């Protein structure tokens, strides 16, 4: 599978460092995206149904809400990667992740339906990055926070690593905070 060099500081906003720090420097981000999806799927399907809608604290997301959040975030960041790869410099607005989670109605969905969508999005994301021209990975674009306050620049490869690291961070949170 194609390798994509890990982005350097400056190719993503400072807040994304928490995600970048979870990723290896071996360039195998696309392989990681697929293997991590399979690992998460196996892990989550082993969880009792009642635990999938459990909140470890007030106003925290359930596991089902986290999964749909990962799908939403991946769609948005892959779309940004496409726009930037095609040299579209239009600043793109962010999104309010809490509203997205609230209005997703994830807890009413079956786990099967969530993972069918997750797999479709994941395969699409991998296909996008596999087929981008080599010279597109260093192209940059900017995003504006959903409240209009901050502009963040990212490279296309920074977006690939954001998607993978963001997913891994949430998977770690599920393992650490929902099972103590």
Angstrom distance (rounded) from CA 7 to CA 5: 6
| Average pLDDT of the residues in 144-154 | 81
* pLDDT over 90 (residue 36): yes
What pLDDT sits at residue 150? 73
Radius of gyration of the chain (CA): 16
pLDDT band at 144 (very low <50, low <70, confident <90, very high): confident
Packed helices 156-177 and 29-45: angle between N→C axes, nearest 10 degrees: 20
**DSSP secondary structure letter of residue 87:** T
Q: Is the dihedral of CA 24, 27, 30, 31 positive or negative?
A: negative
Taking only the tens place, the pLDDT of each residue in 56-83 is 999 999 999 999 999 999 999 999 999 9
Q: For 93, phi and psi rounded to 5 degrees?
A: -75, 150
What ranges do the domains of the chain cover? 14-177
- Contact (CB, 8 A) for 70 and 140: no
What pLDDT sits at residue 179? 82
Taking only the tens place, the pLDDT of each residue in 84-124 is 999 998 889 889 999 999 999 999 999 999 999 999 999 99
Angstrom distance (rounded) from CA 96 to CA 134: 32
In whole angstroms, what separates CA 75 from the centre of its chain? 8
- Contact (CB, 8 A) for 157 and 2: no
Q: Which CATH architecture has domain 14-177?
A: Up-down Bundle (1.20)
Q: What is the mean pLDDT of the chain?
A: 95
pLDDT band at 180 (very low <50, low <70, confident <90, very high): low
């Amino acid at each position: 599978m194609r390798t994509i060099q890990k982005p350097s500081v400056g190719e993503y906003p400072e807040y994304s460092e928490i995600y970048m720090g979870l990723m290896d420097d071996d360039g195998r981000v696309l392989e990681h995206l697929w293997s991590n999806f399979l690992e998460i799927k196996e892990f989550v399907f082993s969880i009792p149904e009642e635990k999938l809608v459990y909140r470890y604290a007030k106003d925290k997301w359930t596991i089902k809400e986290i999964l749909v959040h990962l799908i939403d975030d991946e769609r948005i960041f892959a779309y940004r990667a496409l726009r930037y790869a095609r040299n579209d410099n239009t600043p793109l607005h962010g999104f309010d992740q809490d509203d997205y989670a609230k209005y997703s109605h994830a807890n009413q969905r079956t786990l099967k339906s969530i993972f069918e969508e997750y797999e479709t999005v994941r395969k699409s994301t991998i296909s996008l990055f596999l087929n981008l021209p080599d010279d597109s990975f260093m192209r940059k674009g900017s995003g504006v926070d959903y409240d209009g306050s901050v502009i963040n620049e990212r490279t296309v490869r920074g977006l690939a690593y954001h998607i993978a690291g963001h997913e891994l961070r949430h998977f770690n949170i599920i393992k650490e905070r929902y099972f103590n």
